[in-house]
Structure 1
């Protein structure tokens, strides 16, 4: 029986920032569609998913470094990283918190699942500052038993150790855990952790091809029902 549901943040519970998505799409068009090398959209967008729509924070060295390091390992990675750095130099925002939006129905879903007795966790490669902006704006802290960011774990998606750490802290087994996310990386995390079920959602950067290894694909977290996760 399911005891724990682990949620990704960006694209799963939080809407992707429009400016960041555009930059990722521009990168895809600049390299992927103009070469013979296939680079899944999710791999590029996962790199940008390390931060969200907080563009002033994107310009901070740690965030830029995280994105660039993820890009460099892809085919054409050095060129993609250099191009991205040049584009980021021109980004800025004065409305960091105002730009953050929750997926429609997301809070109602968390409330419903919490009231049903499930433990809930949220995991993101963002730092705690970025996570807190989202959690605090929508008053979500009462719903989560565990919040995992790059500041409080040494592991990262899709490492098995990351999901093992979450399950250990909440004293549950893989057979009692469900993973919910919007990217291929989230699906891989669940698969590597051998969880009971992986649910993919189409509200973020992943499409059905990216989420093909999920057990169930929904339009968004608002469609999650108790009978789907028991």
Structure 2
């Protein structure tokens, strides 16, 4: 845990809703997205392996080690931003066509994603404690819903937002504010949980009550320290942090 101040403790006691990022937070990033990143580069390179490696490097992934830089396009960008980055790095694809192909790839990838814990049981426990629960991702909404359905926690979600859901994109505050509108709660009673600084900046921009970082994605304690109130190895750390019953 990075920061544990009296102010943060007071905020934790007031939390009634939790807004999660998806990839790197609910879904382990390396196991789930390493192969997908290589496939998206191959698509954008039209099968040219040397160009695919250059595209990966430009977007934040080392093609040899598979390491993805924190807050890079592949770590935090939405589909349009990634497609634009691939074109800027040398892909000759049409932007609209590439965006559509990547969205299909990302939705299909939900079937091979690897959860960081038993998400069905985890969400059920939080819901039984009275928390409103949502997901805000830079992925498309269809992919988020497919992931929730696959892991069996869709019935416990009060809100879902992807980059294409009409709430804006990270780090803008719109996804958090949309969650607040859907649940009837003010931002200071919302905890935002994510694996990169885009998530934490979104939380700050919206005035969220808590900013919680996890280390199952592309961020590190060092890269996340300045922008988080707490940093856990994974999302299960929330269960001890938050009150047994959602804040009043």
TM-score range for the pair, normalised by the shorter chain length: 0.7 to 0.9
Confirm or deny that 1:45 pairs with 2:59: no
Report the alpha carbon displacement of residue 8 of structure 1 after superposing the two structures with TM. 0.5
Kindly provide the CA deviation profile for residues 161-215 of structure 1, in whole angstroms up to 9, marking residues without a partner as x. Answer: 3322221221101221100001110011111111111110000111122211100
Unaligned runs of 5+ in 2: 1-13, 42-52, 63-67
- Aligned equivalent of 2:146: 133
Q: How many Å separate the matches in 2 of 1:124 and 1:137?
A: 17
The alpha-carbon distance between structure 1 residues 2 and 97, as it changes in their structure 2 partners (threshold 3 A), is closer
Distance 1:209 1:103, change over 3 A: same
State yes or no: 1:67 paired with 2:61.
no
Contact 2:20 2:136 in 1 (8 A): yes
Per the alignment, do residues 99 and 174 of structure 1 end up closer, same or farther by CA in structure 2, a change over 3 Å counting?
same
Q: Secondary structure at the match of 2:71?
A: helix
* Contact map agreement 1:187 1:200 (CA 8 A) in 2: yes
Verify: 1:4 aligned to 2:20, yes or no: no
What residue is the counterpart of 2:232 in the other structure? Answer: 218
Provide structure 1 residue ranges, at least 5 long, that are not aligned to the other structure: 51-62
Contact kept in structure 1, 2:161 and 2:167, CA below 8 Å: no
Q: CA deviation at 1:45?
A: 2.7
Instruction: State the alpha-carbon separation in 2 of the partners of residues 198 and 84 from structure 1.
Output: 39
Moved over 3 A (4+): 20-24, 26-34, 95-98, 226-230
- Decide whether aligned partners of structure 1 residues 215 and 97 sit closer, same or farther in structure 2, where only a CA change above 3 A counts: closer
Which residue of the partner structure matches residue 49 of structure 2? none
TM-score by length of 1: 0.73
* Equivalent residue number for residue 122 of structure 1: 135
Of 215, 221, 233, the residue aligned with 1:202 is 215
Secondary structure of the corresponding residue to residue 41 of structure 1: coil
Matched, 1:188 2:217: no
- The alpha-carbon deviation at position 100 of structure 1 amounts to 2.0
Structure number having the greater helix percentage? 2
Counterparts of 1:167-178 in structure 2, within 5 Å, are 167-178=180-191
The root-mean-square deviation of aligned C-alpha atoms, in Å, is: 3.4
| Count of aligned pairs between the two proteins | 201
- TM-score, with length taken from structure 2: 0.68
